[in-house]
C-alpha cells in the first residue's frame, strides 16, 4: 500500500516508489469552496519543498499548491483543466495535481502521517 504524508498547508503526497502524487486534502478543498480553475506546471519543471507546484482558483480565492518535497514534475493531471471540480469531488483520488520524481526521499520525514494530520486538523 502506498504511504501518504501531509503538510500543514493541507497538501498530501502519496508515495509510489520514487514518485509522489501531490494534491490537496479534503479539508483544503472544503475551505476553498468550488474549484473553478487549476494551473498546472510544465512537465520537467523542478520544484522545491515549500515552493509553488500548482495554482488552484475557487469561487472564494486563488491559492498556491505547495510542493511537499523537492522533485521534478513527471506528470500532470491535465484532466483538471477541463474539469477543475474534480478537486472538490475526489481530492485524494482523481483530483490530484502533479506527480513528482522525488529528489530527496529524506524530505518525507518532516511530513505528517495520516493520523498526525487528522489530529492537526482538529486543532484548526
pLDDT of residue 57 exceeding 70, the answer is yes
CATH number at residue 60: 2.40.50.100
Per-residue pLDDT at 100: 98
35 lies in a domain? yes
The percentage of residues in the chain with a pLDDT greater than 90, rounded to a whole number, is 98
Per-residue pLDDT at 1: 58
Tell me how far apart the terminal alpha carbons of the chain are, to the nearest angstrom: 29
pLDDT of residue 97 exceeding 70, the answer is yes
pLDDT digits (tens, 9 = 90+) for 19-44: 999 999 999 999 999 999 999 999 99
37 lies in a domain? yes
Reading the block at residue 107, the C-alpha cell is 524530505
User: In 3-state terms, what secondary structure has residue 49?
Assistant: coil
Element (H, E) at 122: helix 114-122
DSSP H helices in the chain: 26-32, 79-82, 86-89, 114-122
18 lies in a domain? yes
Amino acid at each position: 500500500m502506498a504511504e501518504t504524508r501531509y503538510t500543514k498547508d493541507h497538501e498530501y503526497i502519496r508515495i509510489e516508489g520514487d514518485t509522489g502524487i501531490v494534491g490537496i486534502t479534503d479539508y483544503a478543498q472544503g475551505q476553498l469552496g468550488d474549484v473553478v480553475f487549476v494551473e498546472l506546471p510544465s512537465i520537467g519543471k523542478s520544484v522545491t519543498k515549500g515552493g509553488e507546484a500548482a495554482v488552484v482558483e475557487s469561487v472564494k480565492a486563488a491559492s498556491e499548491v505547495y510542493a511537499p518535497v523537492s522533485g521534478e514534475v513527471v506528470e500532470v493531471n491535465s484532466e483538471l483543466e477541463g474539469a477543475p471540480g474534480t478537486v472538490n469531488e475526489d481530492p485524494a483520488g482523481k483530483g490530484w495535481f502533479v506527480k513528482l520524481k522525488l529528489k530527496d526521499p529524506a524530505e518525507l520525514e518532516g511530513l505528517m502521517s495520516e493520523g498526525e494530520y487528522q489530529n492537526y486538523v482538529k486543532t484548526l
